[in-house]
Chains A and B, each alone.
Chain A
């Protein structure tokens, strides 16, 4: 009897001890998310950590001049107005763009959004003489809008942006320029009066801003613990009623280890995990968790070398490789967590373009192409591919590459895989196939995002983007492609630009500078209590529409 009493007392003590946390979670609707990042992506307005940063510390906290439409799970995610209600390129000078700003938008600190704020945010990365110049934000900003050179206020709600050459991609690029509050930054700067060096003072002001950020997004920063968590509260005054948040709070936790994220979800520590471990998916489903997936604009390829002596110079060989991989089998290997590619973008996308070459599994056709190219079971073709053991967006690089290696054996390829460290592979992407660090490889396996025409197509097929300028690793040079790119860049009506991009995409698929293996599906597992989830065909997702039951 005494033993039972003690056990009850211990249980009661345990219950009392854990009560405050439970009560807090019940009183408010709190959504707790485990990210794959090892640290909280930057919160100062230009997130790092790839698109996971934009997803969790960009879009919820900030607005950009243009937004991605994240409201549909079935339609392609297209460009929509954000802080700008309309925009147009100059009639005479195609390097000048006029953006009309939304009126009545306030930053979280209460200051107003005006054209000055847009100019200030452009200058933070483009004007070295600006007091608030932020070197650590240059990389993630300018690389995503390479042609933007300046911004000028026309009136309080009109701003003019200038590009160094006519560039119809600018409105798409601008989804990456998140607008931070100049007034809030100034407060942080003013509080650092004891720091005499202006550059150091600006740097410290940005660090202080990151810990107490102010944008104009549907969520406000409520708490920031470096490397551990960031918490958001609802922005009651958000300008878009459709995106006014239903959740009281959102808690974001960095959790890089997949099995830890899975355990955190199973134990109820979090309500949502990014990228669950594939082998845990059946268990999660069995326990009532919901798995969300959708085709992402993500490409898992082999990017071929076109330098002299490369075995991939022959188009028949490139086509044969694309026809030789049974992607349906690969999908089964990955527990269903991949999409079968038909090109860089899928059919139905505005840039699809109906290419004449159909990427599919057709072993006989592949073998015939290889025979025509002079190869057979006895005269095999040696190829070498660089890959990594892990890395952002790489999915499961080693098992996937081994699958491709095995598949290509049936088409007379002998594939040598060279696995190198992820950062080294990443860096080599811009060094190119001719660089000694490529170790004589004829292909590289670096995955990429395909949301924006420059990143999806142009950087791999333009003669101007050969290493070390950008990621045309294989030195693919074709004047026809340069013309198609120039046409797309200088077509300023949306439909015309998309049609030009569709022609470019069709030709890319036909010429096959890649072996397209898979598209990621952005798997995320959630508690059934999370409602209103729309997983769009995008790297991003809108937290504002979600609620907790």
Chain B
């Protein structure tokens, strides 16, 4: 087990290096001016050149990359050009907010997704299956920013039951786990949960249907095991794959949804990325992409290891 985990950790190192190269290249290859956030378009060429030199953007790309990588290895992923604040501070605050949202959205998505998936798989080809499958297809297909706007129109603008935007009446810095604050979380979390719900439901349905058709289930029933007991075996067999899918979905959600966080003005990584992109704030953009990519890599690693614990056959494969 330790050997397997060490091997997987070792494999992640070149992936991480690749991630740093790709994220550096992507932000520098995109069109636009890296100083657009601090330099208006009407600024003269002289000022532009002066600023490019001050921020080090006049140096060759490979030199910029190596300097950035060296600092990143020491834990310094730079300072936002626009605000002058450390990128790490900006990201840690945003990640905390997105984590809160993603965890709730994943919990909702996983609970409903597995419920719909198991029900649909267990009662396959009945109206229950069709209804549950329709819901999961809706979850996968519906544009979530559209759903977010519709929910805002219904529950905030029309009924006035829930607040439409923000992370609490005083912002996320005053966050408390009470109704006054939690109500701000409901609409974005429900909107965000729809996609993982649909994906998990479809995956679990297919898995359950497949497991139920296997011979060992016939054997269990022939031995006289109750349906609840059989169900338990089905759950145990479906769990590793469902967990892997949930892990990937959590990874996606941790990246924050640019559209959902923008619609709900939720101060997470999606909104941070949106702002960094539009402001062409390269250190912030680079740092945020790097941290999110690393999250994804680490999360996949954790899921792989957990899968191995749940199903030792994976380790042998």
Contacts and interface: CB of A to CB of B under 8 A. Distances in A.
Interface in A168-211: 203-204, 206-207, 210
A130 interface: no
24 contacts: A21-B169, A38-B274, A39-B82, A39-B275, A48-B82, A135-B38, A135-B55, A137-B38, A138-B50, A139-B40, A143-B40, A146-B44, A204-B84, A226-B93, A227-B90, A228-B173, A229-B170, A253-B265, A256-B262, A266-B157, A424-B32, A427-B31, A430-B42, A468-B45
Interface in B21-42: 31-33, 35-42
Given A38-B274, A210-B83, A427-B32, A143 B44 contact: yes
A18 B267 CA distance: 22
| Chief secondary structure at chain A's binding surface | helix
A253 B84 CA distance: 20
Interface string B73-117: 000000101111100001001100000000000000000000000
A142 B43 contact: yes
Given A20-B180, A143-B42, A423-B36, A228 B171 contact: yes
A17 B278 contact: no
Interface string A95-139: 000000000000000000000000000000000000000011111
B218 interface: no
B12 interface: no
A266 B153 CA distance: 9
B265 A254 contact: yes
A292 interface: no
A488 interface: no
A459 interface: yes
Interface in A420-477: 420-424, 426-427, 429-430, 437, 446, 455, 459, 468-471
Interface in A243-281: 253-257, 259-260, 262-264, 266-269
A42 interface: yes
B83 to A, nearest CB: 7
Contact of A427 (B33, B149, B265): B33
Contact of A225 (B50, B160, B173, B272): B173
Contacts of B31: 420-421, 423-424, 427, 437
Given A226-B93, A257-B262, A459 B173 contact: no
B32 A229 contact: no
A469 B49 CA distance: 11
A267 B164 contact: yes
Contacts of B262: 38, 256-257, 260
A204 to B, nearest CB: 8
Contacts of A227: 90, 94, 267, 271-272, 275
A376 B171 CA distance: 61
A20 B181 CA distance: 12
Interface string B147-187: 00100110011001001111101111100001110000000
A196 to B, nearest CB: 15
B228 interface: no
B292 interface: no
A446 B93 CA distance: 35
Interface string A221-246: 00001111100000000000000000
Interface in A134-171: 135-140, 142-144, 146
A427 B94 CA distance: 29
A203 B265 contact: no
Given A263-B153, A264-B164, A421 B172 contact: no
A446 to B, nearest CB: 8
Interface string B43-79: 1110110110011000000000000000000000001
B264 interface: yes
A266 B45 CA distance: 45
A39 B83 CA distance: 10
B84 A17 contact: no
A140 B55 contact: no
B79 to A, nearest CB: 7
Contacts of A210: 83-84
B263 interface: yes
B205 interface: no
Listed residue (B43, B55, B90, B263) with the most chain A CB atoms within 10 angstroms of its CB? B43
B280 interface: yes
B275 A257 contact: no
Given A138-B47, A210-B83, A264-B165, A455 B42 contact: yes
